Amino acid sequence: MHLSTHFWSSVVTGIALYPREPHKATLLALAGVLVDVDHYVLYALRSGEWNPVEALRYNQRRAFPPRSGETRPRYGPLRSRIHHPWLTLPLVWLLSILWPPFRPIAQGILLHLVLDTDLHLRLDWRVWQRAQGRCEGCRVGGVAVAVHYVEPIQRGGPLWTLNNRTLLCESCLRVLRKRKKTA
């Protein structure tokens, strides 16, 4: 997920949940963005490059295939354990029960992981309703289907637009991804 998406969704959620408590709204927004510090640290450790500007540049490039003549390697998803929801969320939940001031931070982390794991995409009822449970590629029903982005977010596809979401079976998804690769 884009850093800017995390930033804006955290700010909006913070203001919505705590309209009269700016320090809590700020904590939520900070937590919602700073979860991604693990990408930066892992990037720096693997590449030996600690300049955050370079890290941001790499972050913008990494979803695209290397340009001709580009020698810099790709480092994969660069996710630490913080990004595993089933590890982080119980811990964060427990902490916010034991220590209530931690709650806005926990909400920020939860929001971040929901966006990163595409939960908002997979559970989008608008798509399920439009497709009525059938694959929108081949119109076959009764097969395993899931919601996917038509144009991946990392490549500039819109995040919330219904038109960029589609319910597909496994084989139609493969066809779509292949077409996008050669496009």
Query: Which residues here bind Zn ion, judged by CB under 5 A?
Result: 36, 116, 135, 137-138, 169, 172
Q: Which residues contact 81 (CB under 8 A, 6 or more apart)?
A: 87, 88
Q: Which residues contact 44 (CB under 8 A, 6 or more apart)?
A: 50, 55
Q: Which residues contact 29 (CB under 8 A, 6 or more apart)?
A: 7, 10, 11, 13, 14, 108
C-alpha dist (Å) from residue 99 to 22, 39, 94, 102: 19, 27, 8, 6
Radius of gyration of the chain (CA): 19
Which one, 106 or 169, has the nearer CB to Zn ion?
169
What's the closest the beta carbon of residue 71 comes to Zn ion, in angstroms?
27
What's the closest the beta carbon of residue 142 comes to Zn ion, in angstroms?
11
Which one, 88 or 96, has the nearer CB to Zn ion?
88
Which one, 98 or 105, has the nearer CB to Zn ion?
105
**Which residue reads 């119980």 in tokens?**
90
What's the closest the beta carbon of residue 170 comes to Zn ion, in angstroms?
8
What's the closest the beta carbon of residue 69 comes to Zn ion, in angstroms?
30
Which one, 92 or 169, has the nearer CB to Zn ion?
169
Which one, 45 or 138, has the nearer CB to Zn ion?
138
What's the closest the beta carbon of residue 172 comes to Zn ion, in angstroms?
3
